[in-house]
Amino acid sequence: MELKKRSLAASIARWFDAYAGHADEGVTGTRRFDWTRLLPFAALHLGCLGVIWTGASEVAVLVAVALYAVRMFAITGFYHRYFSHCAFRTSRAAQFVFAVMGAAAVQRGPLWWASHHRHHHASSDTPADAHSSLQHGFLWSHMGWFLARENFAPRNALVADFARYPELRFLDRYDALVPLSLAAVLYGVGEWLGAAAPALATSGAQLVVWGFCISTVVLYQATFTINSLAHCFGRRRYATSDDSRNNPWLALLTFGEGWHNNHHHFPGAARQGFYWWEIDLTFYGLKLLEVFGVIHDLRVLPPRLLDARRVPTPAP
C-alpha cells in the first residue's frame, strides 16, 4: 500500500516535473494507461465544453486558429523535421525559440518528442513500434501509446545530439511550464480586452477555452492522425518497410505531414511533398525562414531517389 502511495505521488508530481520519482527510461511490457497522466489530458478535452458558458467571439476564434497554425508549424517544422530528422540547420537561439513554441502545443518537450519519433522510424510497424496501428490497434496508435508508463520517459540515447543543450533539457523536464504560461497569458489578455474594448465581446475565460482548450485539442487530433490514419488510409508510392501512406487531406490538415509515405521513403528531407502539386505548408514556411536567414542548409530528396523503390502500378 505504501509503495502504491509513493507511486501515485510520483505520478502526480510528474505533471509538473517530468523527472520526479526518477521515471525509468525504456520500461517495457507495460502497455497500460498511467491513469494519473490521463487526467490532465482528459481535463483539456473537457475544458472545450466551457464554450457553453463563455460563448464565442470573432477574437476568440481568430486566436484559436492563429495558435493552431503557429503551433502546428512549430511541431511539424521543428519538433519533427528539425529535432527528429535534422532536415536543416539553425542557430542555438532559434532552436530554443521554436522549441518553446513547440512546447506550447502540449505535446511534451522536444527531446521526448524527437526521441520517440526516431524510435518509430527505427522500428516502424514492427511490434517494437510504440504507436503502430498495424501492431497495436488504431486507438492505441492514435492516442493511447503516449499515456502508457513505458513511453513516459524520453529515449535519451536516441537524442544525444540535442540532449547536450541544458535549455532543451529544461523544457523536457518542466514540460507543463510553457502550456500553463500560455493559458495564463491568454486569460490575462482576454481580461484586458474585456475591460479595454468591451465591443469585442471577449473575456479571459473565453480566450482560454478557445485559444488553449479548443485549439489544442484540434491540434492534438490532427497531429495524432499521422500515427494512426496515415498508416491505414491513402496511397503508397514507395515500397517502404512499413505501411505508411500518402493522404492529401491529412497533408492539408497537418501542413504537409500527410505525405507520410514520401516521408518514410526519405525521412531526412525538409520537403515532404515531393511534387509541386503536393501541398506542404510547413516546407513553404521553412523556405521563408531560410530567406530571412533564420535557418539554412535545407536537405532535399536526392533526384536519384525520386523514382527509387516505386510500388508497381497495377496493369489496366
* 152-162 average pLDDT score: 94
Is the distance from CB of 95 to CB of 67 less than 8 angstroms? no
Instruction: Please say if the pLDDT value at position 172 is more than 80.
Output: yes
Q: What distance lies between CA 297 and its chain's CA centroid?
A: 23
Is the distance from CB of 150 to CB of 30 less than 8 angstroms? yes
Torsions phi, psi of 296, nearest 5? Answer: -160, 170
Dmax over CA atoms of the chain, in Å, equals 68
Angle between helices 110-122 and 92-103 (to 10 degrees): 90
Instruction: Please say if the pLDDT value at position 180 is more than 70.
Output: yes
pLDDT tens for each residue of 223-268: 999 999 999 999 999 999 999 999 999 999 999 999 999 999 999 9
Give the C-alpha separation, 123 to 117, whole Å. Answer: 10
**What are the distances in angstroms from CA 308 to CA 265, 275, 298, 300, 301?**
9, 15, 21, 15, 11
pLDDT tens for each residue of 106-124: 999 999 999 999 999 999 9
Instruction: Specify the pLDDT at position 35.
Output: 77
In the chain, the amino acid numbered 233 is F
pLDDT tens for each residue of 285-305: 999 999 999 999 999 999 999
Give the C-alpha separation, 167 to 50, whole Å. Answer: 34
Give the C-alpha separation, 226 to 75, whole Å. Answer: 12
Instruction: Specify the pLDDT at position 229.
Output: 96
Whole-number percent of the chain with pLDDT over 70: 92
Q: Which of 233-242, 269-278, 307-316 has the lowest mean pLDDT?
A: 307-316
* 57-75 average pLDDT score: 98
Instruction: Please say if the pLDDT value at position 102 is more than 90.
Output: yes
pTM of the model: 0.93
Q: Please write down the long-range contacts of 286-289, taking CB distance under 8 Å and 24 or more positions apart.
A: 286/77, 286/81, 286/88
Instruction: Please say if the pLDDT value at position 284 is more than 80.
Output: yes
Is the distance from CB of 80 to CB of 105 less than 8 angstroms? no
The CA R_g of the chain, rounded to the nearest whole Å, is 20
Is the distance from CB of 280 to CB of 273 less than 8 angstroms? yes
C-alpha cell at 282: 510547413
